[in-house]
Amino acid sequence: MNYTTAIFLINKDVRAIMCNYEPNSPDKQVMFKTLDKTIKKDDFVVVPTQTRHGMTVSKVTEVDVDVNFDDLTTKVDWIVTKVDRSQFEVILSQEGDALKVIKSAEATKKRNELAAALLADSRDALKALPISTINGDGSGGPI
């Protein structure tokens, strides 16, 4: 008997979940077990591995799959936890909003500095150019 699957026989709430470590290799799926009823396809979960700190993130590809009790060689480990990305996504969104404000302020500052430098140095020469009196609506007007 594969003792890592025995829990499926004694607890009906244990779920078999297929996960993938490698996004570019969909055929490399591994079965895990969990009691978490909220895990669904496309969630990210932390699972035990033989790498780094003994854990890594994997993507759920299937949920509530059938267990092959005749497979005596495949170890079925427990999922450590589901990854909750909601706070991370809020922070990324807020940072994106802040960066838009910063970039706009930088562009305004550069535009104002360049305009001030041009007008201070060449105001009369610029005013004499025909393009200085053209407005976007075609009505014209001085700078």
Q: Delimit the domains of the chain by residue range.
A: 3-84, 85-122
Cα 90 from chain centre:
11
- Mean pLDDT confidence for 37-41: 97
Is pTM, for the whole model, over 0.85?
A: no
- At CA 93, angle to CA 92 and CA 98, rounded to 5? 95
Q: Which residue has the higher pLDDT, 83 or 22?
A: 83
Separation in Å, CA 7 to CA 11, 65, 78, 128: 6, 15, 11, 87
Q: Provide the total of helices (H) and of strands (E) in the chain, helices listed first.
A: 2, 6
Task: Give the model's pLDDT for residue 6.
Answer: 94
